[in-house]
Chain A
Amino acid sequence: DAMVIQNPRYQVTQFGKPVTLSCSQTLNHNVMYWYQQKSSQAPKLLFHYYDKDFNNEADTPDNFQSRRPNTSFCFLDIRSPGLGDAAMYLCATSRAAGGLGEKLFFGSGTQLSVL
């Protein structure tokens, strides 16, 4: 019973060709996050939505955008992927704010390759 579902599992794109990764959740959680994880590194938060409020991390490149059309779905758009954007992209959800001990629920991730 997958609760946070990411599609596709593997995505190959060409240098400079826009790509969209998707995430859906059945938990009805308020907060959805996108993390970038490169090999042997910690997940790095790109941005998150609290309901419809978008919160971008200061060091997230403009090349990365996100959309959340409804509670269940969230998309990560990479406008012009570069070789350095090849990574695992993890979607996560939480019921509310992290400071209150809220747990993160992760999807299985999308492994992005850029050729």
Chain B
Amino acid sequence: GEDVEQSLFLSVREGDSSVINCTYTDSSSTYLYWYKQEPGAGLQLLTYIFSNMDMKQDQRLTVLLNKKDKHLSLRIADTQTGDSAIYFCAESRTSGTYKYIFGTGTRLKVLA
């Protein structure tokens, strides 16, 4: 199957950490991505991880990959109100396909 699943909503207080989770089904996925979509806008790439890595850190963002469980997470440290958006995980595969499979998106709401 091609399903990439995410929980729909997450609410956190400003300054707390946010953890957004994603599960995918295709074990051949080579790269996994996190995109951010602000209201009425296109998707913006935040970070990505190669499938032979367990973790990647980029400033306030930490990506964790559990390949055995096909589980990907995005941790945002010190979450700010400007982080309120929809976060999509996506996977791409080695078969040469140009197809990215997107998750359903998690709407993050940051409370001041």
Show the binding face of A for B, using Cβ within 8 Å: 4, 6, 31, 33, 40-43, 45, 48, 50, 55, 90, 92, 94, 97-99, 101-109, 111
Contacts and interface: CB of A to CB of B under 8 A. Distances in A.
A40 B100 contact: no
Contact of A50 (B33, B42, B98): B98
Nearest to B4: A42
A104 B97 CA distance: 14
Contacts, number: 73
Interface in B60-110: 88, 92-100, 102-105
Interface of B: 4, 8, 30-31, 33, 35, 40-45, 48, 50, 88, 92-100, 102-105
Given A40-B105, A42-B104, A98-B100, A104 B43 contact: yes
B87 to A, nearest CB: 12
B104 A103 contact: no
